[in-house]
Amino acid sequence: MPPKRARPPHLELEVVFDTNALYTGSASHFLRKEVSDLIDQNSNVPDLTIHWIVPEVVRHERQFQMLEKAYEMLPTIQRLERLLGHNLNITKEILDARVKEVVDHQVQQYGINVRTLDPTGVDWPRVILDATYRKPPFQSGEKEKGFRDALILETFMQIVVTSPTSRSSARLAFVANDQRLRDAAQSRLGTATNVHLLESIDALKGLINTLGSAVDEEFIEAIKQRAADVFFKSGDASTLYYKASVRVELEEKLKNATVSLPPGADKYTVEGWTIGSPRFAKKQGQRIYWTTRFEARLKALKLSPQPEWLTGGYITLDQDAVAFPIVHVASPSRQPSGRAAVNVLSTSWKPSEQSIQFSSPSFVSVAEDQLVGYGTASLDASWSLSVTTSGVLTKAHLESVDYVEVVWA
C-alpha cells in the first residue's frame, strides 16, 4: 500500500501561465478551452486552494494576438458591406474596445490575478547582458529575441520572492512551453524546493491531481515510469496501447470530433502522432488511474479548384509549368484522389518532343490542395491498473479515449 501523505490540512498552489500555455488562435477567447475547463473543475478541491496568475505582459500579449485575429476579419466585413449596400460601422477602434472588454470579462470570470512587474525590482544590467550574450530566455542568433520572455521571467521571479517557501504548505507552478524560458527560471531558483517548472497544461493537471490526492507524491513518482511501460512500449504487443487498440480509438475519436478549421481551410489531414508521459489522475483502493496525452499534428488545407475535362488536346511540358490547349470543356469533375486532373479523350495534334500525347482515358495532375496552416489536436487516453501489496502492477485496463481540443498555429 502506498503511504499516506503527511501534510498540513490545507495547501496553497499558485499557478503562473506563460503566453503559449494560454494561446487559442481565437479572437474571442482569452484562455484556451483546456485551461478554462481546468479552472472550473478545480474551483473547489478539498484541502487545496489554487490561485491562477497571469503576468501583465502575458495578458497584453494575448490581447494583441486576439486583436490580430480580429483585424483579419475586417476585409470580410467590408465585402459584406458592399454586398448589403449598408455600412456596418465596424472599425479597428471598435474592435480594439470590444477585444479589451472580452479580455477584462474573462479575467474576472475565471478569477485570474494579473500580476504587474515592479521595474524597480529588476536587475536591468543583468537583463542587458543576458540579451547581449543571448543567454536564456533570449534566443541565439543575429537578432535579439526574447525581451517579452525576459519580462515574464522577471514577473515570475518576483512572485517567487513574495511566496511562502514551505513545501508542505505552499507550492508554485510555472507553466511555460518554451524550454529556454524554463531553463532561465531554473537557473534563478537556487535551492527552492516548492517550485514546479511545467512544460504543458497536461503536466499541470498531473500536479494538481497529485497535490489534491491523499497519495504520497514520492510514491506516484516512483511507479510512474513502470506504469508508463505497462501502457506503451513501441512495438511491444503486450502493452495496453496495442492490446486495447488505442491508436484505432484515437483516430475514430478525432474523426468524429467537431473541429473548427482556420479561415480559408476546407479540410485537414493528420501528419503524425506523439505520446506524452502518463499523469496521475486518482487512486481508488488498490487501483490507480492515469491519463496519457496524445497529440496529432494537423495540416489545414484549402481544396484546389475543380478540374476541367477536355475533349481533345495535348499537354506541353515546361520546366516550371504545364500548358495545354482546350478544344472543348466538358462538365467539371474531381478524381477520387482529390487532385485535379485532365482527361484527354482524343488528340489530333502532332506533339513536339517537349509534349506528351494522351490516349483515352488518361489523367495528369495539374493542381494541389493549398496549405493554410498547421495545428495540434489533443486527445486523452484514460486507463488504470492495480498495485499489489508487493508493488506489482497488474490488470491494466483502458477506461476511455476523449477528444480535448484543437489549437491552430
Say whether both 362 and 383 belong to one domain.
no
Q: Are 348 and 311 in contact (CB under 8 A)?
A: no
More confident residue, 329 or 125: 125
pLDDT of 129 over the 50 cut? yes
Say whether both 292 and 322 belong to one domain.
no
The number of domains in the chain is: 3
Enclosing H/E stretch for 291? strand 287-302
The amino acid occupying position 355 is: S
C-alpha distances (whole Å) from 256 to each of 6, 252, 278 are 45, 6, 24
Say whether both 264 and 357 belong to one domain.
no
Give the single-character DSSP code of 120.
Answer: G
Q: b/e for 3-41, b at 16 or more Cβ within 10 A?
A: eebeeeeebbbbbbbbbbbbbbbbbebbbbebbbebbee
Say whether both 205 and 270 belong to one domain.
no
Distance of CA 349 to the CA centre of its chain: 55
Give the closest residue to 62 by CA, choosing from 20, 116, 101, 113: 20
Number of helices (H), then strands (E), belonging to the chain: the values are: 12, 14
What's 165-234 look like in SS3?
A: CCCCCEEEEEECCCHHHHHHHHHHHCCCCCEEEECCHHHHHHHHHHHCCCECHHHHHHHHHHHHHHHCCC
Among 85-99, 268-282, 304-318, the least confident range: 304-318
Last residue of a domain, one of 162, 181, 214: 214
Say whether both 311 and 287 belong to one domain.
no
pLDDT in tens, 14-63: 999 999 999 887 878 999 999 999 999 998 877 899 999 999 999 999 99
Q: Can you give the pLDDT at residue 104?
A: 96
Q: How confident is the model at residue 285 (pLDDT cuts 50, 70, 90)?
A: confident
Q: Which residue has the cell 484543437?
A: 406
Q: Can you give the pLDDT at residue 367?
A: 57
The verdict on residue 225 lying in a domain is no
- Average pLDDT score over the chain: 84
Say whether both 22 and 37 belong to one domain.
yes
- Cell numbers linked to 214: 491523499
Query: Residue 130 belongs to what domain range?
Result: 1-214
- Kindly give the pairing relationship between strand 355-356 and strand 315-317: antiparallel
Q: Can you give the pLDDT at residue 141?
A: 79
Q: Are 316 and 344 in contact (CB under 8 A)?
A: no
Say whether both 99 and 208 belong to one domain.
yes
pLDDT in tens, 197-225: 999 999 999 999 998 887 788 889 899 99
Say whether both 270 and 373 belong to one domain.
yes
- Kindly give the pairing relationship between strand 170-175 and strand 195-198: parallel
Q: Can you give the pLDDT at residue 306?
A: 58
Whole-angstrom distance, CA of residue 48 vs CA of residue 213? 10
Q: Can you give the pLDDT at residue 271?
A: 95
pLDDT of 329 over the 80 cut? no
Q: Are 277 and 224 in contact (CB under 8 A)?
A: yes
Tell me the DSSP string of 67-93. HHHHHHTHHHHHHHHHHHT------HH
242 Cβ partners below 8 Å, 6+ apart? Answer: 236
Say whether both 316 and 404 belong to one domain.
no
Say whether both 168 and 134 belong to one domain.
yes
- The whole model's pTM is what? 0.73
pLDDT in tens, 343-382: 443 344 444 444 444 444 444 444 578 999 999 999 999 9
Say whether both 163 and 119 belong to one domain.
yes
More confident residue, 307 or 311: 307
